[in-house]
Amino acid sequence: MRFNAYFVRLCHSQDSFQGSILDGDKGVAASFRKIADNLYSVHFKSQLELRFRQKIDFRNARGSFTVLLPVLSQYNQRKLKKMAFALRGIEDKSFPEIVTALLAVENFLEMEGLLYFFSLERREAIEALTGLELAQQAKVINLNYLFVTSWEHFQESLAVLEAFLRRAHEGRERTVKFAQLEKEVGVPQESVYFKYLLKKGSQGFPCRIMPSALVFSQLPLSGEEKARMADIEKVLRTRRMTIFTFENVQKNTAYSIKQINDALWYMLDEEKLLQLDEQHFMFSEEYGKIINRLKKFKRNQGDVLTFDDLRSLTAYTRKYLIVLFEYWDGQNITRRVGNKRQILLGA
């Protein structure tokens, strides 16, 4: 993997200077800046693929420097001091020792991109990282990318998440949105680390992981909660809102945002509802009827479906037909062909 900047070991009288190095048989302009003692960072205009402990010669002067590590992120002065300490004597350290030292500076490392730099086979890297995990010095989050964090950081994040879930469960919270967990734990919900933490942290609780929230599924419903859910369902069915949004429920009932949110997520968990996208919900019973009509359509009229065909099957407006078609495309039930859809579902 190529990088624009590296940490290098170099003896030089100036704290910063411009130079030119030899990359094969051509010269490459480089900018050097002192970090501490004989530790420098070197930046190139284009990316270069260098290796650990590689000796690089200057083009027009005697001397060389030793490559220590790619510059993996942006560093403030405090972080640079920590990196200088981590790189002390790195040339003589083993790969596991290097990983441990770097995790004292970085919360995360993606070692897949560093295999070439350290001249490591993937098998060797996995073996080393597994050994660090067994010794509780690192935690492997994803083996595909060799994505790791320190054991201490993992335990701290997990403890915060579990404590939050415990408070929610003991407080009889029906649902916990990922946005709440993201704010509490300080980890983006789209990240691999968040998904890993959520899977680990939720194992000790009676819950179900939904697309954007965690639902506690074994809390007994109070009479008030049952009545609220029944009332919401009655209102929606009375107004023939088989596909609806959170805002639809809000406008047609007097319940609070939290009461509506809890009711909808519990109905999803009970599979009374289906979530078509981030905004739209649908009664599962109604969805099942439409799927049966779709199968019948394919048997009798072929596998090409137009908007007018779907309108005659559902009596929905174009707005909801688009929502349904996009959901089916995502579920491989249909495939878009121009302005029509090919039905992939078995008849």
Question: What share of the chain has pLDDT > 90, as a percent?
Answer: 72
Neighbours of 241 (CB within 10 A): 17
And the tokens for 71? 């510059």
Q: Which CATH class is domain 223-282?
A: mainly alpha
Q: How many residues does the chain have?
A: 347
pLDDT value of position 347: 62
Q: Which CATH class is domain 285-343?
A: mainly alpha
Q: Which CATH class is domain 1-92?
A: mainly beta
Fold match between domain 1-92 and domain 223-282? no
pLDDT value of position 65: 93
Delimit the domains of the chain by residue range. Answer: 1-92, 154-216, 223-282, 285-343
pLDDT value of position 220: 67
How is domain 154-216 classified at the CATH fold level? Arc Repressor Mutant, subunit A (1.10.10)
Q: Are 103 and 149 in contact (CB under 8 A)?
A: yes
Strand ranges of the sheet holding 304-305, from the earlier edge strand across to the other edge: 304-305, 340-343, 334-337
Listed as own residue / partner, the contacts of 179-187 with beta carbons closer than 8 Å and 24 or more positions apart are 179/212, 181/214, 184/160, 185/157, 185/160, 185/161, 187/157
pLDDT tens for the 347 residues of the chain, in order: 889 999 999 998 899 999 888 777 788 899 999 999 899 999 998 899 999 999 998 887 678 999 999 998 888 889 999 999 999 999 999 999 999 999 999 999 999 999 999 999 999 999 999 999 999 999 999 988 899 999 999 999 999 999 999 999 888 888 899 999 999 999 999 999 999 999 999 998 888 888 889 988 766 678 888 899 999 999 999 999 989 999 999 999 999 998 998 899 888 888 899 999 989 999 999 999 999 999 999 999 999 999 999 999 998 999 999 999 999 999 999 999 988 999 998 76
- pLDDT tens for 85-95 read 999 999 999 99
Sequence-ordered list of residues with C-beta below 8 angstroms from that of 71, at least 6 positions apart, any chain: 3, 4, 5, 6, 7, 41, 43
Look at the alpha carbons of 193, 199, 205, 207 in this order and tell me if their dihedral is positive or negative: positive
**pTM beyond 0.75:** no
- pLDDT tens for 260-291 read 988 998 888 888 999 999 899 999 999 999 99
- Give CA–CA dist 97/105, Å, rounded: 13
- Give CA–CA dist 99/132, Å, rounded: 9
Phi, psi torsion values for 50, nearest 5 degrees:
-110, 170
Look at the alpha carbons of 187, 192, 196, 202 in this order and tell me if their dihedral is positive or negative: positive
Local structure of residue 38 (DSSP, 8 states): T
- Give CA–CA dist 215/145, Å, rounded: 30
